[in-house]
């Protein structure tokens, strides 16, 4: 099985061709990603209209390059998958229409992919793990703990009630004068800082449900920075280090509660703890979660960084997973700005999927 995957939900234009191996593993034949960071850097965040226009300008050549890198023609494909949401609706429509057009012209099955489901299933592409497992999804738009019980079968255990963790990194970076995207820059500056200088809050600590909140922490950082302004290089490093330490503590404590909720609601332990999304690249968070899973006797799986951030390979793989089960979609499938993994959970408290 050979599937083309297209991803345009935010600020990466991406396409990939993935094959299903004989042993059921995934074989990434190509994975092309064009970042728009330069276009959005001056604004300190993603501008939806700029993103959509950039996708329109790039999508044809990105798909062509992915097919060329894979040594394949459209006729060789067994299906076409495109992210249909959740995300910035203008960008989502670009990739979705492109995928539909290719599927129609080549006479191939079409799969509309939930971007969050693609993140959730990436660990099966990279590590072939079995269900059920616990997913910690940490990105610029989402922070959730999800029980992944099967393809299309998700139970949301916890979510953020305000900012996502990646959003908190970006906003703190912006208020401190650091470049966009904020996460990598905060992490770099924090390496030289004192984590004990500022006693920032650990929101939601001790709550019985594994939900997240970052707005209070963000406010505490702003107030601390204002009290000692203008900031020296040492001040900046100490604030970043203390902020990151608070984030790490929240991630670990909330995941520990999530593991308890998983056992109660799924009826047993997960096969693994999977971390996905751009914030999974943060080394401090990864080390802390590794200690947690080691203590719990569980396997921690963090896909390679290029597969944690938005990419076409995860879309193509989800297409493969769904096609294997006979799941396809019509060409009338509409783009969705919101699309919760757990349909029973509906919209998150912060208004996001």
Kindly report, residue by residue over 331-340, the tens digit of the pLDDT: 999 999 999 9
The string of pLDDT tens digits covering residues 44-93 is: 889 999 999 999 999 999 999 999 999 999 999 999 999 999 999 999 99
Name the helix (H) or strand (E) containing 161. none
Q: What tokens appear for 280 in the block?
A: 């999974």
Percent above pLDDT 70 for the chain: 98
- Joined tokens for residue 174: 């912006």
- Give start and end residues of each alpha helix (H) in 297-342: 305-308, 312-324
CB contact at 8 A, 17 and 91: no
**Domains of the chain from N-terminus onward:** 2-124+307-345 (3.30.420.40), 132-298 (3.30.420.40)
* pTM of structure: 0.94
| Angle between helices 215-227 and 165-175 in degrees, nearest 10 | 10
Closest CA to 307 of 110, 121, 84, 140: 121
Residue 347: per-residue pLDDT: 58
Tokens 């904020």 correspond to what residue? 182
- What is the distance, to the nearest Å, from the Cα of residue 190 to the centroid of all Cα atoms in its chain? 23
């Amino acid at each position: 099985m050979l599937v083309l995957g297209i991803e345009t939900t935010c600020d990466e234009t991406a396409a990939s061709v993935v094959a299903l191996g004989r042993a059921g593993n995934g074989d990434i034949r190509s994975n092309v990603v064009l970042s728009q960071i330069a276009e959005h850097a001056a604004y300190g965040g993603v501008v939806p209209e700029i993103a959509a226009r950039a996708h329109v300008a790039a999508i044809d050549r990105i798909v062509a390059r992915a097919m060329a890198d894979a040594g394949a023609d459209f006729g060789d494909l067994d299906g076409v998958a495109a992210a249909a949401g959740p995300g910035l609706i203008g960008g989502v429509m670009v990739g979705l229409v492109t995928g539909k057009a290719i599927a129609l012209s080549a006479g191939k099955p079409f799969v509309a992919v939930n971007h969050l489901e693609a993140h959730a299933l990436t660990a099966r592409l990279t590590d072939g793990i079995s269900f059920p497992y616990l997913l910690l999804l940490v990105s610029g738009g989402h922070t959730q703990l999800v029980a992944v019980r099967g393809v299309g079968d998700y139970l949301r255990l916890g979510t953020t009630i305000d900012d996502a963790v990646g959003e908190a990194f970006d906003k703190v970076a912006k208020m401190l004068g650091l470049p966009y995207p904020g996460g990598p820059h905060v992490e770099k500056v924090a390496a030289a800082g004192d984590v004990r200088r500022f006693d920032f809050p650990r929101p939601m600590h001790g709550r019985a449900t594994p939900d997240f909140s970052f707005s209070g922490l963000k406010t505490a950082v702003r107030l601390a920075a204002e009290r000692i302004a203008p900031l020296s290089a040492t001040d900046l490093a100490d604030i970043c280090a203390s902020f990151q330490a608070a984030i790490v503590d929240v991630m670990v404590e909330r995941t520990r509660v999530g593991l308890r909720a998983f056992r109660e609601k799924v009826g047993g332990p997960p096969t693994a703890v999977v971390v996905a999304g751009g914030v999974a690249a943060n080394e401090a968070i990864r080390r802390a979660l590794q200690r947690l899973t080691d203590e719990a006797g569980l396997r921690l799986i963090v896909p390679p960084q290029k597969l944690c951030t938005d990419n076409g390979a995860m879309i193509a793989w989800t297409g493969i997973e769904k096609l294997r089960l006979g799941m396809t979609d019509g060409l009338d499938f509409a783009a969705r700005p919101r699309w919760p993994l757990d349909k029973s959970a509906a919209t998150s408290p912060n208004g996001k999927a």
